[in-house]
Amino acid sequence: MVRSFPRLFLGKGFSRLHEYQRRLCAALGGKGETGFREVLRKNSIRISEVQLVQAGQQPERMAALRNGMVMATLLTTPTNFILEKEGFRRLLELEETKISAGVRCLITTRKILQQRPAMVENFAKGWLHSVRLIQTRKKESMDVIGKYTNNNSPEHQEDAWRSITYKSEIPPYVSPARLQEQIYMLAEDQSELRKLEASRMIENSILKKLDDSGFIKHGYALYSPNHY
């Protein structure tokens, strides 16, 4: 399980979250929207008091905020630096709110798990390996971030690197409780989702196999900072 928390940005002329009640807000789907809903709940703002709209990926959300089509949006590093330089205000870091429901999961189908377990296992191994490399190979990771975000600023690259280096739980088992929290929050305006059971949506057998075999422990010991 990897936690990834965006930053909440306000439109120009606003300074408090409560100023967005009854106004249009942009929110990405999935964990970002879930996190935003939790922020509203913690500030005693009902979801019915804020209009959430799907505004696309980060470039589209940035454009919507600039043009006044929405009043707030969620962005991750290093994209957020662009708006900060334009005078938009960063209201909060979702990571600092200690929201437990902000998770990202690897998803596949039961059919693939049954028919191609070796492929799924190798993918999981590669993912675990990449997470550890990000945590321990700062320069190489920042180079990759710069390449794929077209951002040459060392400051921006490091901020992005720091935002993902300390949010991984190892071994990364999916938490039924946290996933169920997401379901309940989304069910506030999609009541049909309330019937979903998180425990029936999770398959940890591949990860448990890697954990029991010592692959995870050995891999993370091998790539520990003291190894280099």
pLDDT in tens, 15-67: 566 666 566 566 555 556 666 777 777 778 777 777 777 777 778 888 888 88
Tell whether 154 and 195 lie within a shared domain: yes
Per-residue pLDDT tens digits for 54-100 = 777 778 888 888 888 877 787 777 677 778 778 887 777 766 666 65
Residue 178 is assigned to a structural domain of this protein: yes
9 CB-near residues (< 8 Å, 6+ apart): 65, 72, 73, 74, 75, 80, 83, 88, 89, 90, 91
Tell whether 28 and 73 lie within a shared domain: yes
Per-residue pLDDT tens digits for 196-220 = 999 999 998 999 999 999 998 887 7
- Please tell me what DSSP assigns to residue 129: H
Tell whether 125 and 56 lie within a shared domain: no
* Cβ 132 vs Cβ 219: under 8 Å: yes
How does residue 120 score in pLDDT terms, banded at 50, 70 and 90? Answer: very high
Last residue of a domain, one of 97, 121, 153: 97
* Average pLDDT of every residue of the chain: 77
Per-residue pLDDT tens digits for 152-164 = 888 888 888 887 7
Tell whether 157 and 195 lie within a shared domain: yes
Tell whether 162 and 183 lie within a shared domain: yes
Residue 2 is assigned to a structural domain of this protein: no
Residue 105 is assigned to a structural domain of this protein: no
Per-residue pLDDT at 170 exceeds 90: no
**Which H helix or E strand runs over 176?**
helix 176-186
Distances (CA, A) of 153 to 25, 51, 77, 137: 29, 35, 12, 18
Whole-model pTM above 0.75? Answer: no
Tell whether 157 and 210 lie within a shared domain: yes
Distances (CA, A) of 173 to 34, 59, 72, 125, 204: 19, 32, 33, 14, 7
Range of the domain at 170: 110-227
Residue 188 CA from chain centroid, whole number:
21
Query: How many whole angstroms separate alpha carbon 202 and alpha carbon 208?
Result: 12
Residue 38 is assigned to a structural domain of this protein: yes
How many distinct structural domains can be found in the chain?
2
Tell whether 27 and 115 lie within a shared domain: no
Per-residue pLDDT at 3 exceeds 50: no
How much is the pLDDT for 82?
A: 78
Tell whether 80 and 121 lie within a shared domain: no
Question: What would you report as the CA-atom Rg of the chain, rounded to the nearest whole angstrom?
Answer: 19
Last residue of a domain, one of 76, 97, 118: 97
**Higher-scoring residue by pLDDT: 221, 216:** 216
Tell whether 22 and 120 lie within a shared domain: no
Tell whether 90 and 23 lie within a shared domain: yes
Tell whether 219 and 114 lie within a shared domain: yes
**Higher-scoring residue by pLDDT: 103, 215:** 215
What are residue 152's phi and psi, to 5 degrees? -95, 5
How much is the pLDDT for 195?
A: 93
Angle at Cα 35 formed by Cα 29 and Cα 40, nearest 5°?
110
